[in-house]
Structure 1
């Protein structure tokens, strides 16, 4: 059962980049992010109150700390990365965006070293980070290195937007780890609610209120809100309670693979060889960084 939930999570999150591509056929990138977060917030708020969690309280200093963490999570896990990815996918393929997400656990390593008590970089973690970062360089510069194609400024900015989104996710991960004890569903619902408050004004200011949209774009936003955002959060909660965070971390290996496969099969996206090589290097770096060194006393 745990492996089934893990596989479903990997597939759903990997398919989110397809959802963004579909949504962009009728909406602007910030509107896509705002619609996704707002609908998901409504769903999770209903779920949270239906099962007795509700929103975190605001009666004690610890409660206010929780809300501060919810604000940070809203900014770095919802508003910024969803907006950056949607804008980036105006130019890059969904496969590229998916592969860039493999970098999230690598960015977590140095952040944890400086911000999380008891988390320290060791030789394996440093080696894994450096090895995996080589994959990031290959991912961004592969077109120029192997195909001799000039790197346009727009393409470079779009690629950097996707990588920056992965860095935002890493920061959001640290914020979540440092949050005082709170219901996962309450925390996620609060973060999505605050994220929608951040995104809606920006979307209206930058792109206006949508006057019309095709059914494909509407379906794309609906999919993004329901499955990769709302349902995935509920599944994540179930899996963490059943199998624990270390088991959940295995999903990091699945998401980019599903994203590349779905992009190639459904959208018929070109799959440059350096994408696969970069993905392999990043995943090997991730594996090295998560390995435990075995020391033997003489």
Structure 2
């Protein structure tokens, strides 16, 4: 992992804002699912976000890549970072609570450490990382409740689908480092969302039928939120926080998202999570703090 940076008040504010935005996306997606099917929802999320980000690219006068190699990388990135995880998690939300989905989503950072250790020589799995990963897996197992798999049902499948989405995110992160690291982040985000949209257009037509734009106002507001704010806007904010706080500290955003999603799910949808879900999140949070916390521990030791 890259060296830690000290987080400034501004970076903290933007980190919290990012967590709140992403936490709210789970509720907006669940609301939209009442009227539009999963593949069409993901098409809306990627398509409108891509248009928005290309507008940003044009305003910033950033160069648009023309090499087929890069556009091929965009297609793969769109599949790994958008189509697979967005689709699996949206489908999962049809059968499990938004708050639980957000808790399982926090496993992205855990799988990210494992994939990075497998792919990159400078990301080896140290004893500290192994402890963090073990705590993370224990948290996931606790949140799901392994006893459920004695009677495997659609709810169990939905939870596994969400976890599969986090694995896809982890591989997307490795792919981006391998293939897209030299591009401006705004261009990389716009390119991968465009690749996603090109794949989703025929898929939505084939799976869901013609895309209807005659939707309820609440559905359009949800689409606007999760596409323009929680996808396009969040990508731009993500890269700002990354520059300000560093990749290690940015991992802390995963601790902010679930409480926001849980509160919104309880307020708007009347969701209630079992105690094991909260216990699982606590273990996941502990694992993330172990992965992220060694500089803090060192500073405390040197002061004593």
Q: Same fold (TM over 0.5)?
A: yes
User: 16-25 or 70-79: which moved more?
Assistant: 70-79
The equivalent of 1:173 in structure 2 is 173
- The aligned length equals 286
CA distance 1:263–1:151, change in 2 (3 Å) = farther
Q: TM-score, normalised by structure 2?
A: 0.88
CA contact (8 A) 2:84 2:168 kept: yes
Against the structure 1 CA distance between its residues 215 and 151, is the aligned structure 2 distance closer, same or farther, given a 3 Å change threshold?
Answer: farther
Displacement of 1:69 in angstroms is 3.3
In the other structure, the counterpart of 2:3 is none
Q: Distance in 2 between matches of 1:155 and 1:275?
A: 14
Deviations 1:186-235 (A, max 9, x none): 00000000011111211111111144432222221121111110111111
When the two structures are superposed, what TM-score results if normalisation uses the length of structure 1?
A: 0.90
Out of 22, 46, 52, the residue aligned to residue 43 of structure 1 is 52
**1:72 and 2:76 are equivalent in the alignment:** yes
Is contact 1:131-1:282 (8 Å) kept?
A: yes
1:230 aligns with 2:232: yes
Q: Which residue of 1 aligns with 2:32?
A: 23
- Aligned residues of 1:135 and 1:282 also touching (Cα < 8 A): yes
1:81 is the counterpart of 2:85: yes
CA contact (8 A) 1:27 1:210 kept: no
Q: For the residues of structure 1 that align with 2:249 and 2:132, how far apart are their CA atoms? A: 19
CA-to-aligned-CA distance 1:53-95 (integer Å, 9 cap, x gap): 143232xxxx82x434322221111111111111111111111
Any gaps of 5 or more consecutive residues in structure 1? Answer: none
- Name the CA distance, whole Å, in 1 between partners of 2:223 and 2:61: 28
Q: Which of 128, 140, 146 pairs up with 1:124? A: 128
Distance (whole Å) between structure 2 residues aligned to residue 142 and residue 263 of structure 1: 24
Check the 8 A contact 2:251/2:288 in 1, yes or no. Answer: no
1:34 to 43, 61, 67: 43
- Give the match for residue 185 of structure 1: 186
What's the offset of the Cα at 1:49?
A: 1.3
1:252-298: per-residue Cα shift (whole Å, max 9, x none)? 2211222122212222211211110000011111222334397xxxx
* Match among 112, 117, 120 for residue 116 of structure 2: 112
**Counterpart position of 1:159:** 159
State the alpha-carbon separation in 1 of the partners of residues 131 and 12 from structure 2: 29
The 3-state SS of whatever aligns with 2:107 is: helix
Match of 1:96 among 94, 100, 123: 100
Gaps of 5+ in 2: 1-9, 299-304
The whole-number CA distance in structure 2 between the counterparts of 1:241 and 1:180 is 14
